[in-house]
Amino acid sequence: MKNSLTYKGFTGSVQYDAVAAVFYGKIEEIDDLAAYEGDNIEELINAFHDAVDDYIYICADVDKPLIIPVQLVNVSTVDKH
């Protein structure tokens, strides 16, 4: 299982709490805390998308500059032709 999600340039963590039987995570590489959870993977992905959309909306609403984390690219895998 992949331990991260991506959406609109943001990355989110994926964790599982076996005691509570819930998936959870947070948006990575931002100065704020934006967490999400779901009872299954589909709910987790939807909650992550909602958290990113909410974060973007709130930043715009309070005039906070929106800085989308840089996604590093392995240049050795980029087709140069």
Q: Which domains does the chain have, with CATH numbers?
A: 4-77 (3.30.160)
What is residue 70's predicted lDDT score, i.e. its pLDDT?
67
Q: Is the dihedral of CA 47, 50, 56, 61 positive or negative?
A: negative
Tokens of 38: 């779901």
Beginning with the edge strand found earlier in the chain, give each strand of the sheet holding 22-26 in spatial order: 15-17, 22-26, 35-38
Task: Answer for the pair 14, 53: CB distance below 8 angstroms, yes or no.
Answer: no
38-46 long-range contacts, CB within 8 A, separation 24+? 44/5, 44/14, 45/5
Q: Tell me what the mean pLDDT of segment 2-13 comes to.
A: 93
pTM for the predicted model, two decimal places: 0.81
**Which of 65, 30, 24 is CA-nearest to residue 48?**
24
What is residue 21's predicted lDDT score, i.e. its pLDDT?
97
- Each residue's pLDDT tens digit, 51-68: 999 999 999 999 998 887
